[in-house]
Each structure stands twice: as C-alpha cells, then as structure tokens.
Structure 1
Amino acid sequence: MNPPTLLLVLHDVAPQTWADYQPFVEAVDALGDVPITWLVVPDFHKNNQLAAHGDFRRMLDSRVARGDELALHGYFHCDDGPPAHSPRDWFMRRVYTHEGEFYSLSQTAALARLQAGIEVFRRYNWPLEGFVAPAWLMSDGTRQALRQLPLSYTSDPQHLYRLPDFCVIDAPGLVWSARSAWRRGLSKVISDQREQRWRQAPVIRLGLHPVDMRHAFSRNYWLQTLKRLMDEGRVPMTKANWLKLQPDRIGHGA
C-alpha cells in the first residue's frame, strides 16, 4: 500500500506572478524536501513571454534540478476567443472566469496552441508530462487534441485523467477564491469541511493561485495546511510522480 499523499500545485506560474509566490516557496523549502508542481504559462496574458525572462527560466531550471515538476498551463491564460453565443457560454467566459483559454477552442486551434506550449518546454529542456487548462475549462476540441499528443495527464478540480484515453483517477483538491475578504472567509470554511471529509483519501491536492499569496490570511492557511498534512503522515509528491504509482487503469474514460 502506498502512503497517503499530498500534491502541492502552484497555478499561473509566470514572470509576472513569481514575486507573489517567492516568499511562500522559500517558506516551503525551509520545511525540507517538499516537491512542488508548477503550472507554467508560456506567455501570461500575452505580456510575459518566457524568452524575455532569463532569470525566471533559470529559477525554473533549478526547481527541476531539485525534483519539482513543471506542467503546461495553457499558453496565454486568457480567453481571446470570439464573443459568446449563448447565456451559458457568456456566464462561463465572462462571469465565472475571463481566463478560460481552452473553453471554446476547436480541435485545430487547441492542437496548435498545445503544440506551441510543448515546443516552449522542449526549447528549455524541461520535462513535460501534464497539461492543465486555465480554470480547468476544456472544449471537446481540446480533449480531442490532447488525445493526439505525447502527454501523460490532464486534470480538473477533483480528478486526474490519464491520457490519451482520459481514464479518470480520483484526486480531490482544495482551492480558494481569495479576491475579497468574504470569499477568503468562505473558502476557509469550505476547505476545512472538505479536509475533514477527505481525511482517509489516498491523496489531497493543494491548488494555490497568486492571489492567495497576496493576503496573509490565505497565505498562512496554505502553509499551515501543508505542515499539518505532512505532520499527519502525508508524503508530498509531484502530480507526475504520484500518477506513476497508480494502477494503469482506474475508473473509466471521460
């Protein structure tokens, strides 16, 4: 039997967001050997191309060298598609989030953007196994594109999916909405309830965002939760390494 695990995942990793994450990452490093999965955006909001940020790339090189994982997290992390054509699409793309980059892409468009992201990782010699869509939103075209690529997994808030057949693996995750004080308070209540419910779960994901790091209340929550779960015996791993320990086929294709 594998020990219970936790997966620490940093979303929206880009030169623009590194200043938010740096103090937290330093605090995590001080705890010892805690592998992190970094969800890297190649050109965040079309204004942060990795090619222009050598120091940031070298920082990521050093993280890979110490055993962290880099995963592809969209390409631009912004929704630049045509206007929504239905109330549901308008809600998902303009109320729920403005960053659902892969929510409405055709198979051809998704494949081109995914291949461009894969090429960025190849250029910098970064191993790549996983893709996570911004806001976890994927069109059918994106799913079809992912079936054609040399990637091992994708995910949504509560599951990992082994590619290319989208075999589903339960991987419950905690995530906050931290843009306002009332959202942070509600996120704390919901996360505490979910953590209790998942005490016996084989794995728990901690999904952090840059905005979480800008408020002491949410930043301290994540650091204390990480410490507590480790003290309770959960072993920190990257998403890719945890997935390698799972049986070849769990659940069903999605």
Structure 2
Amino acid sequence: MRDAHTSARSLMLVLHDVAPETWPDYQPFVEAIDALGEVPMTWLVVPDFHHRNALHRSPTFCRLLDRRLARGDELALHGFYHADDGPAPRGPGEFFMRRIYTHEGEFYALEQQEAMQRLEAGLELFTALGWPVSGFVAPAWLMSEGTRQALRQLPLRYTSTPQHLYSLPDFTAIEAPGLVWSARSAWRRGLSRVLCDWQVRRWHKAETLRLGLHPVDMRHASSRDYWLHTVRELVEQGRQPLTKSAWLERRLSA
C-alpha cells in the first residue's frame, strides 16, 4: 500500500511550442503516451508560431486541440509569436540573452503596454475558440518586468519558470522543479540525459516533477525515448499525472 506521501506525489507532462507545424513532431509521442492510460498533458499553445502558424487558419488543428480538452488535457497560452522581434538588444547582457541564449524570448524585453496587447490578443483568441485558459508561460521562460505587471492585471491563475509555478496575481512562488533537454546536437543530448538522470535522483522525494518537452526532442530517438521511459517510470513509482492547473488547484486547496 502506498503511504500518504507517495500517493500525493505527482508529475506534470508539458508540451512546449504547440502549433500546427510542430504537431507532426509530437504526434507519435502523444499517441504513445495515450497508450499508457490516463496521462493528462498541458499543451503550451502559440497563437501564431513564428508569424506563420496562425491558429485561425488551421481549423483541423484547432479541432484536434478541442479533442484534447475533452480528454482532460489543458491548454495554456505560450507567448503569441514565440519569436523575439523587438528592437535590437541594448548592451552585452541583453545581446547574450536575446541572440545567443535564445532568439525566441518574445516577452524578455517588452514594455508593459506591448506585453498587455499580446497577452490580451492571445486570451481573446482562446475565448473565440472556446478554450478555457488558466496559465501563461513565456517563451524560454523569459519575462520582462513589464510582462509581470501586465500579468498582474489579467484573469490568469499562474505563470512559471523552470523551477517554480507562480500563483497570480501576486506571483506567489511554489516550488515545482522541472526537467528539460537541449536536443539540438548529439553532445547536448548526451549532457541532457546525464543532467536529467541526476535531477530525477535529486528530486526523488519532491512533491511534483515537471517534464518540459520541446518539438526538437521528438526529432531524435534518444530524447523521445527518454521522455517516454521517464513518464512510465515515474507513474510506476506512484506519481500521479496532472495538468498544471489541476496540480495548482490541489496545491492551493490543501
């Protein structure tokens, strides 16, 4: 029999960068997860991925997300374009974050007004499509102070960074450690496996673990198989799969 601590532990399976063009990457993995049984997922949906994937032009993909909601999955807002198209970086620190660390930190340098405009546009699209939304995750988890101020004014329940969920509007930090791979090259995939294996051992007793998957992970057998194996193993260890909003609801009501 599982003890109370074991039965309370959970995992959150989170698919980043969800858009019509990334669905072919994810589809085989999602089908494999569905075959495991009831493993709800949180899909981080980009309204117009890289300015070429506007959801209103992809009704078939939107119907797919409708079906995922009906299965018990969650859809969260993940930026608007998932591309950093702002003014040129100012200074070496900003250049590193926006041109070397990532080119996709859409909300890293936005002032409050522009951040609000993009957030409201994303929420309006979700509403028009009939999708409930509780959370926003900034691309690359990078948020300017202006973005934070905008989020305080919107009817959202959470945002997140790699190791925490933040309850809105007051940004109360809740520890929720996350695993993520960098799968763009063979050496990165090898290092990611070692690091994530160590983190799983380190956080063995953590209340929850978040698995943050990206489309590039699905393009390589080593990373794709790692995630599938990890989900199976964590479920067998007694962790309950939950969406981010369901976990937050349970956490705050405890």
Q: How many residue pairs align between the two structures? A: 249
TM-score between both structures, scaled by the size of structure 1? 0.97
The equivalent residue for 2:172 is 167
Q: Distance in 2 between matches of 1:67 and 1:127?
A: 12
Q: Distance in 2 between matches of 1:37 and 1:248?
A: 20
Q: What's the CA shift for 1:248?
A: 6.2
- Confirm whether residue 25 of structure 1 aligns to residue 30 of structure 2: yes
Q: How big is each residue's C-alpha offset from its partner over 1:48-77, in whole Å with a ceiling of 9 and x where there is no partner?
A: 000111110000000001100000000000
Q: What's the CA shift for 1:246?
A: 1.2
Moved beyond 3 Å, runs of 4+ = none
Mapping 1:20-59, distance limit 5 Å: 20-59=25-64
Q: Which runs of 5+ in 2 are unaligned?
A: none
Distance change in 2, residues 1:110/1:248 (3 Å): farther
- Confirm whether residue 200 of structure 1 aligns to residue 179 of structure 2: no
Q: What's the CA shift for 1:3?
A: 1.3
TM-score between both structures, scaled by the size of structure 2? 0.97
Q: How big is each residue's C-alpha offset from its partner over 1:23-72, in whole Å with a ceiling of 9 and x where there is no partner?
A: 00000000000000000000000000001111100000000011000000
Equivalent residue for 1:129, pick from 128, 131, 134: 134
Output the aligned Cα RMSD: 1.0
Q: Which runs of 5+ in 1 are unaligned?
A: 250-254
Q: How big is each residue's C-alpha offset from its partner over 1:88-137, in whole Å with a ceiling of 9 and x where there is no partner?
A: 00000000000000000000000000000000100100010000000000
Mapping 1:213-228, distance limit 5 Å: 213-228=218-233
Amino acid corresponding to residue 171 of structure 1 in structure 2 = A
Q: Distance in 2 between matches of 1:10 and 1:66?
A: 16
The equivalent residue for 1:153 is 158
Q: How big is each residue's C-alpha offset from its partner over 1:190-240, in whole Å with a ceiling of 9 and x where there is no partner?
A: 000000000000000000000000000000000000000000000000000
Amino acid corresponding to residue 58 of structure 1 in structure 2 = R
Amino acid corresponding to residue 160 of structure 1 in structure 2 = L
Equivalent residue for 2:119, pick from 114, 119, 126: 114
- Confirm whether residue 63 of structure 1 aligns to residue 68 of structure 2: yes
Q: Distance in 2 between matches of 1:188 and 1:246?
A: 29
Q: What's the CA shift for 1:161?
A: 0.1
Task: Give % identity.
Answer: 65
Amino acid corresponding to residue 127 of structure 2 in structure 1 = R
